[in-house]
Every structure is written in structure tokens, then in C-alpha cells.
Amino acid sequence: MNWEGLDITILGPAFLAGLVVASTHVPLGRQVLKRGIIFLDLAVAQTAGMGIVAAHSLHWEPGGWQVQLIAVGAAVAAAFLIHLTERKWPEIQEALIGSLFILASSGSILLLAANPHGGEQLKELLVGQILWVGYQQIIPVALLYALVLGVWFSPLRKGSTLVFYLLFAVAITASVQLVGVFLVFATLILPALAVRQRERKADYFGYLIAATGYGLGLVLAALFDLPAGAMIVYTLAIASLLGGWLLRGKPVIPETGVS
């Protein structure tokens, strides 16, 4: 075990980043699960990621306003398209969302084809580099999320599907750049699965599960010198499984009908 890896100056900002991401993704994830549009987050996240890749291909400064503008623009465009599918073709919406995800993923690969470091950039987009996140990256995202949560819990969102999609696009764009696509999906869906049969204090328990998953994953990744993003996905899954079992007294594995 690498006990020296338990460096609070590295793990502290990473854990805070996870808490910040969970602050919006827990309530958003519950809504995604209720709507039955599970691939929504992957499609929007991957579309925002394609926007980031496109900006890098133009040699724009990483983290600059141009990159943020194209990433948010791509995510918002995806949100509008998905909102349109809900209104026009609800019976095939999930299939269309999955198609958007595949198109965005393939677009990112095409944009990186001529880049000698394309494989590394694609891996970073998917798995993220949470251990390299600093406070200077977290602060603007936290301020943005405070605004998102303010609108989320206000009367503005009630009854407006479009507002939900727009808030989702803005939140996902920021979180993809902090933690990567895989952790975005895991943070949205796994805690939501654990608390899906609860209404009272559901967000509270979802936040607790997410914090446990991020904290345990970071510690194990540091001790065993493993990729932090991938490890957190597993610890989020374990925390969600155990959390759901404690909350309901039974496993959270969905029934498949297969004996």
C-alpha cells in the first residue's frame, strides 16, 4: 500500500470536486430516472465533450472562454434536440438519445484522428483527471451550480421541461471538464437508483451515498495507486448498492424477469 499517496493537498480538492458535482447531479439524476431517459446524461455529456475536443483542435486555450462557449453551445443544442424528441417522437426518444450519443462519440474520434495525443485526450475526456483538479477550477463551477440549484428549487422549473433540459446541459458541461464522462454518468444514475423508491429525504440520502463513494474511491485509488476516476465509479456502485439495501431492506438490483 502507498500510504504516502494519502496527500490531503491532492485528495482534498478532488473530494471537494466530487461533492460539488454531486450537488447538482443527485437531484438531476433522480429526475432523469423518473423520466426514463437514462442515456440523456451520456448524450449531453458526450456532445459537450465533442465541443471541447473541437475547441482543442482549433488550438484554443484550455479552459478559456472560447472553449466554454463552444462546449455549452454544443450541450444546449443537444438539450434542445432532446426536448424536441420528447415533444415529437416520445415513443422512440430513448433510441434517438442513444443515437445522439453514438454520433457525438464518433465525432470526437474523428476530430482527434490527426492528433498524435488524441488517444490520451479521449481517455481524459471519458475517465477524467479528478486528482489534478484544483480549487481555482472548483470555485467557478461551484458558483455556477449555486445558480443552477437556485433555479432548480424555484417555481421557474415547475412544469417546464425545457428549463430542466437547459439546466441539465449547463451542469453537465461543467462537470465533464471536472471529472469526465464516466463519473458524470455514475454520479447521476447510481445514487438515484439507490433512493428511487423514496421521496422523503431522497436528495439527502443521495448526497450521503455520493460523498461516501467519492471519499472511499479516492482513498483506495491513492493507497493502491490505481486510476481514481475508474475506482470511484466502483465505489459509487458499492455505496449505492449498500445504501439502497439499508434504505429498503433489499438489494437495489433491478428485476430482469430472468430466473
Q: What is the pLDDT of residues 69-79, one digit of tens each?
A: 888 889 999 98
DSSP 195: T
| 199-258 confidence digits (pLDDT tens) | 788 999 999 999 999 999 999 999 999 999 999 999 999 999 999 999 875 444 444 444
> What DSSP string runs through 4-55?
GG--HHHHHHHHHHHHHHHHHHHHHHHHHHHHT-TTHHHHHHHHHHHHHHHH
- pLDDT at residue 158 greater than cutoff 90: no
Give the range of the structural domain holding residue 77, as residue numbers without chain letter: 3-248
In a domain, 254, yes or no: no
Contact between 29 and 42 under an 8 Å Cβ cutoff? The reply is no
Q: Does residue 191 contact residue 41 with C-beta atoms inside 8 Å?
A: no
pLDDT digits (tens, 9 = 90+) for 27-41: 999 999 988 888 888
Q: Among the listed ranges 52-56, 58-62, 73-77, 126-130, which one has the minimum average pLDDT value?
A: 58-62
Cβ atoms 130, 16 nearer than 8 A? no
- pLDDT at residue 56 above 80? no
Whether residue 258 lies inside any domain: the answer is: no
Least confident stretch, 107-116, 167-176, 199-208, 226-235? 107-116
Mean pLDDT over each residue of the chain, to the nearest integer: 87
255 falls within a domain: no
The enclosing domain of 31 has a CATH number of 1.10.3470.10
Q: Is residue 62 part of a domain?
A: yes
Q: Global pTM? A: 0.85
In a domain, 253, yes or no: no
Per the domain annotation, does 240 fall within a domain? Answer: yes
**Would residue 87 count as lying in a domain?**
yes
Q: What is the dihedral of CA 55, 57, 59, 61, to 10 degrees?
A: 40
Query: Residue 259 falls within a domain, yes or no?
Result: no
Where does the pLDDT of residue 185 fall: very low under 50, low under 70, confident under 90, or very high at 90 and above?
very high
Structural domain count, the chain: 1
Task: Name the residue among 141, 130, 138, 133 with its Cα closest to residue 174.
Answer: 141
181 neighbors 45 (Cβ within 8 angstroms): yes
pLDDT at 94 over 70: yes
